[in-house]
Structure 1
Amino acid sequence: MSKVTIISGSPSEETRLNGVLQDVLSYFHGLQTTPEIINIRHLPAEDLIRAKFDSEDIKKANQKVEDSNIIVILTPVYKASFTGVLKTYLDLLPQNSLEGKIVLPIAVGGTFGHLLMIDYALKPVLSALGATHILKGVFILDNQINKLGNNRYELNSEAKNRLESTLETIKNTLSAQKSFSSSI
């Protein structure tokens, strides 16, 4: 079965991104897969800021990425781009660490004006890390995520359908790869 790692680039513990994270986790659990999760905000700040490539925590996080063939990247949109903590962590990934992996970027922002952030800010960085199979990505508006309390959130049906449709693309891509491999 595929190994999945989810990288959460939110610097905040209480964030609407948690609602998206829960839906992504539920989807993969339905496929009998338990993703690894890297919450960048839980990595040592000094290791991130000082670019300590030899940090044990950074090495463990990077190993999760290396061991996976599916990477889901979650980020809120700040100042029309992905978060600084996400960029700081991506800078600590080894060159070509996303090569041969299916990468799904997911962003949560306040306006559709930030929709292109995935294509013009995040995807070039992922490409620089060797990613060649970057899925279309999902952009979800803040107001499409309802706050339930106690750091729990729920996506509205439109956002949930778009997210699930894109997650299905991963399953279909994996099926196509298996079919191709078995025909060789």
Structure 2
Amino acid sequence: MTTLAVVSAGLGQPSSTRLLADRLAEAAAGALRGDATVETIELRDHAHAMVDATLTGFPSGTFRAAAETVANADGLIAVTPVFNASFSGLFKTFFDVLERGSLEGTPVLLGATGGTARHSLAIDYTMRPLFAYLRASVVPTGVYAASEDWGSAETALPERVARAGAELAALVEARPAPAKDDPYEAPVPFERLLAGY
């Protein structure tokens, strides 16, 4: 069973950010060959806990479970609203408090929403560098949805969502299974253990 974690940094309820996150998750899960479980994390529900974790260095309670869900997922979909030409502070805070190395090699699909198409490059000049620093494997297609993308039948949004979802599914399926250290794989011979006595 493949697990996809979805991080939505929308502030409203409902929000266009969550709507985009849900569409991306549906596209990615549909493109996977096997069954997939989708775990969605609304960052607005963990805002206070994230500040506490920033101050103490230790996530706790339901926020700890959310952070572990993201760290243990086979793939990640991360979506933020764009404020002042960049990702939201809530979005950045979440990734600041994740344990170092927890996203290394994780396939990630990036999405963003905003009031105007002028902010569409925020994915490439703010989000990609963040996930490159975290050593995640980001899919080529990022999906930005402006306000006009939601009400028009002429929009290319569904096509971009489908393409990005397929790219994430391909990256998740191509990812090698994590190596598990087995302490019993190469046991020390009993004679060698007794040689010290």
For the superposition of Structure 1 and Structure 2, which TM-score range results when normalised by the shorter chain? Answer: 0.7 to 0.9
After superposition, where does 1:11-90 map in structure 2 within 5 Å?
Answer: 11-30=11-30, 31=32, 32-43=35-46, 45-50=47-52, 51=54, 52=56, 53-90=58-95
Structure 2: which amino acid aligns with 1:167?
Answer: G
- Larger Cα-atom Rg: 2
* Residue-by-residue CA offset, 1:118-139 (whole Å, 9 max, x unaligned): 12111222222221x1112111
Distance 1:73 1:121 in 2: 13
Structure 1: which amino acid aligns with 2:100?
Answer: Q
The answer to whether 1:128 aligns with 2:133 is: yes
Distance 2:153 2:45 in 1: 24
Aligned to 1:150: none
Distance 2:154 2:75 in 1: 25
Shift of 1:114: 1.2
Provide the TM-score with structure 2 as the length reference.
Answer: 0.76
Shift of 1:110: 2.3
Structure 1 alignment gaps of length 5 or more: 147-153, 179-184
Change (3 A) 1:174 1:130: closer
Shift of 1:175: 4.4
Of 164, 167, 170, 1:169 maps to 167
Alignment root-mean-square deviation, CA: 2.2
Structure 2 alignment gaps of length 5 or more: 177-197
Structure 2: which amino acid aligns with 1:10?
Answer: G
Displaced runs of 4+ in structure 1, greater than 6 A? none
Provide the TM-score with structure 1 as the length reference.
Answer: 0.81
